[in-house]
Structure 1
Amino acid sequence: MDIKRQTVLVTGGSRGLGEAVVRAFAREGANVVINYYQSKERAENLAEELGEQTVALQGDVRSKEAVEKIFKEAVSYFKMPITTIVNNALVGFSFDPVERKNAEDISWEDFSVQFEGSVQAALNTAQAGIPDMKAQEFGRIVNIGTNLVQNPVVPYHDYTSGKAALLGLTRTMARDLGPYGITVNMASGGLLKETDASKATSAEVFQIIQQNTPLQRVITPEEMADAVLLFASPLSRAVTGQNLIVDGGLVMK
């Protein structure tokens, strides 16, 4: 299915990488649901700017009931089901290498927050979308990961563990849903310059990444968004269960 015929849900779509993904899909002519949790004004302003092909819908994606409501409201607005899900929402995390919790201090509650924001949220959106995807024999699920799983240059224990678990879910769902024409993939970025979550990152860290990356620069949210588009496009129709690392070559795998 061409991107312009798809209806796309982008969780955490009002800012940072989510906003870039929303703009990328809108640019290609898709219908886009801008999901937000607290950033009401930003989400609604973005929807107003992009026009009738987008709609801003509030909901905490950690809640199964809230996600089901989002899907119903999307169908009511666009008169067609969601075909494509981008699980991008990031719950309560900042990439701050100075204030991060180390191995001695981090608690299981910290891990739980990130597991809920990564795995539980992705499970909720997938389960809400699977029935319609099966019915139309087409679906695209793209989970946002991190290259820290492969190379934890900064040991963000809770965040990285949550994304590692999400990679496992990506692969098991790809195996389970493939027979129905549904692909499930992950796009894993490095530190992006810049998002709300990376504002706390020091200039020194950005410089180290730039110096050690083959492209000699830090990747932008817009470049990451284009990789997400690839997984939704017909060009990757035979690709599922994969983790594409989008970091300028810092991690090679």
Structure 2
Amino acid sequence: MTASPSALPLSEQLVLVTGASRGLGACLARAFLAQGARVVVNYLNSAEAAEALAAEAPERALAVQADVRDPEAVRAMFAATRVHFGEPVTTLINNALPDFSFNGDARPGPDTLTWEHLDHQLQGVARGALNTVQAALPGMRERGVGRIVNIGTNLFQNPVVPYHDYTAAKAALLSLTRTLAHDLGPDGITVNMISGGLLRTTDASAATPEAVFELIAASTPLRRVTTPEEFADAALLFASPWGRAITGQNLVVDGGLVKD
């Protein structure tokens, strides 16, 4: 397939994955590395894990620390990336998530939810994505191509767990996904979201009882729980030339559990 001016083969892309040192972020980074892309492994605190991941492909991977909530730190990360690889980021995966306990029993309910809970998630999810997108735009416009993939949740459609603050922040990110897609389309930049549920298995779901996995598996047409690797495949689709005409979309990747 011949790539258009607004599409690059995965092997020619420079991909930045936020929150990529572990869990789903690490799977996303490895998925792009497996396709020959160069990858920036962004992390906040997990330096050892990020460096170990980058060491798996030392010629094509770079670990860079930055708090995505801090616009100056984000700009510095993009500048360091350009110096190291000699070109701008073409593909941005917004995966970073503020500290969060995926334990429904421990989350605040309607009577105890505070604005501080919401603001904590909005800062990390929505503000973080705004910072990274704004830092990425000059380079994407320079190249005449860009792919932005935001990580969401299927709790929009199926709010079975009281993650009010987490879900609200991801909903804000979905809104940004669609409005940015409209504004950035003329620049050859697509913006999409991938939404999943419980994944088998990440750091976040490591403590999930087996009975919960079994219940979810039985409720899906595929009769199994989606893996982080399968979820990451969808990011490859959106970033690849085969996704060049897809923008402003929210793709639910959960084995068919939720219908968008």
* TM-score above 0.5, yes or no: yes
Contact 1:94 1:198 in 2 (8 A): no
The 5 A counterparts of 1:87-102 are 87-102=94-109
The residue aligned with 1:250 is 257
| 1:235 counterpart letter in structure 2 | W
> Deviation digits for residues 41-81 of structure 1, max 9, x if unmatched?
00001111222100000010010001001000100111110
Match of 1:125 among 124, 132, 135: 132
- What is the aligned-residue identity percentage? 58
Report the alpha carbon displacement of residue 213 of structure 1 after superposing the two structures with TM.
1.1
- 1:101 and 1:214 map into 2 onto residues whose CA distance is 32
Indicate whether 1:81 and 2:91 are aligned: no
- 1:12 and 1:143 map into 2 onto residues whose CA distance is 12
- 2:221 and 2:124 map into 1 onto residues whose CA distance is 31
Report the alpha carbon displacement of residue 121 of structure 1 after superposing the two structures with TM.
0.5
> Deviation digits for residues 173-218 of structure 1, max 9, x if unmatched?
0000000000000010111111112234333322221111111111
Q: Secondary structure at the match of 1:50?
A: coil
The residue aligned with 2:233 is 226
* C-alpha RMSD of the superposition: 0.9
Report the alpha carbon displacement of residue 137 of structure 1 after superposing the two structures with TM.
1.1
- 1:100 and 1:207 map into 2 onto residues whose CA distance is 23
The residue aligned with 2:4 is none
| 2:138 counterpart letter in structure 1 | P
Report the alpha carbon displacement of residue 134 of structure 1 after superposing the two structures with TM.
1.2
Indicate whether 1:213 and 2:187 are aligned: no
The residue aligned with 1:163 is 170
| 1:179 counterpart letter in structure 2 | P
Indicate whether 1:135 and 2:142 are aligned: yes
Contact 1:16 1:195 in 2 (8 A): yes
The 5 A counterparts of 1:34-73 are 34-73=41-80
- 1:207 and 1:168 map into 2 onto residues whose CA distance is 32
Report the alpha carbon displacement of residue 107 of structure 1 after superposing the two structures with TM.
1.1
| 1:77 counterpart letter in structure 2 | H
Report the alpha carbon displacement of residue 143 of structure 1 after superposing the two structures with TM.
0.1
The residue aligned with 2:242 is 235
> Deviation digits for residues 200-249 of structure 1, max 9, x if unmatched?
43333222211111111111110011001100000010000000000000
> Deviation digits for residues 139-195 of structure 1, max 9, x if unmatched?
000000000011111121000011011000000000000000000000101111111
> Deviation digits for residues 85-124 of structure 1, max 9, x if unmatched?
0000111112112212211112110111111111100000
What TM-score do you get using the length of structure 2 for normalisation? 0.95
Q: Secondary structure at the match of 2:183?
A: helix
| Structure 1: runs of 5+ lacking an equivalent | none
Indicate whether 1:115 and 2:129 are aligned: no
The 5 A counterparts of 1:168-187 are 168-187=175-194
Contact 1:97 1:201 in 2 (8 A): no
Runs of 4+ in 1 over 6 A off after TM superposition: none
Match of 1:204 among 201, 205, 211: 211
What TM-score do you get using the length of structure 1 for normalisation? 0.98
How many positions carry a matched residue from both structures? 253
